[in-house]
Amino acid sequence: MNYKQRSAIVLLAAIVAVVGCSQNSEMERTSTKIEKKLNDKMKSGNKLSPSEINNLSGAYLFKKQYNDGIACLEQLSNDDKYKNSKYLIYLNLSKFYLEQTSEKTPGTEKTDLIEKANRYLALGVDSAPEKASALYARSHIYGYEGCIEKAKKDLQDARNIAQGKNSILYEEGLYVPKEKFISLLQADSDSLSKLTDNCDLH
């Protein structure tokens, strides 16, 4: 499995895990269920976990409901309950703008979307309580977009930070040993070494 495939699977992991198959219509139904369940949870005033934020983003992205996904994430970014998850919200927002660029021909509108994506990619790392994990997450986005050199740099920066710690805050409330985290970085770095850079993000 190459780096881009792994990144895409990470993005839609919950959907694939629930469905257990790759049939498009089944994934569509599962995405709709995930979207409804998590939106109902938000409407009732309950906080989404980091993995649920990713799952909801994945459902919107799979169905190409970019504007709905952006509106939802913007709402979460303005909610104090998500102060510690803001970096994850920003990184997910970047995915929506990047996906929208694929539907645009080169020009002002595409350039604007790329600028928005770049801004959220930067905000995602800048606002993270644990920079190493944020860099690791951003490297997946860069890798998926063909920005191999940017992804490699994020992995190296994440490794440099991790070397000085005993454990890494992987996501809210979940720590992993430094050695485990570095092994994840190394696996991705090995996959990236086989790919050629083809990046539209500057």
Q: pLDDT tens for residues 126-143?
A: 999 999 999 999 999 999
First to last CA, the chain: 27
Interval 24-45 mean pLDDT: 91
Residue 154 and residue 188 in contact, taking contact as beta carbons nearer than 8 Å: no
Region class of 136: left (phi > 0), else alpha (psi between -120 and 50), else beta: alpha
Nearest Cα to 41, choosing from 16, 14, 76, 74? Answer: 76
pLDDT of 6 higher than 90: no
Provide the CA 40 distance to its chain's centre, in angstroms: 22
Q: pLDDT tens for residues 100-113?
A: 998 887 888 999 99
- Mapped onto helix, strand or coil, the DSSP state of residue 137 is helix
CA gap 133, 84 in Å, rounded: 13
Q: For the domain 3-192, what is the CATH code? A: 1.20.190
HSE-CB of 140 using CA atoms within 13 angstroms: 21
- Looking at residue 20, what is its pLDDT? 46
Query: pLDDT grade, residue 23 (50/70/90)?
Result: low
Predicted model pTM: 0.86
**Which residue ranges make up each domain of the chain?**
3-192
CB atoms within 10 A of CB 36: 11
Nearest Cα to 63, choosing from 37, 18, 99? Answer: 99
Q: Of 4-8, 19-23, 70-74, which gets the smallest average pLDDT? A: 4-8
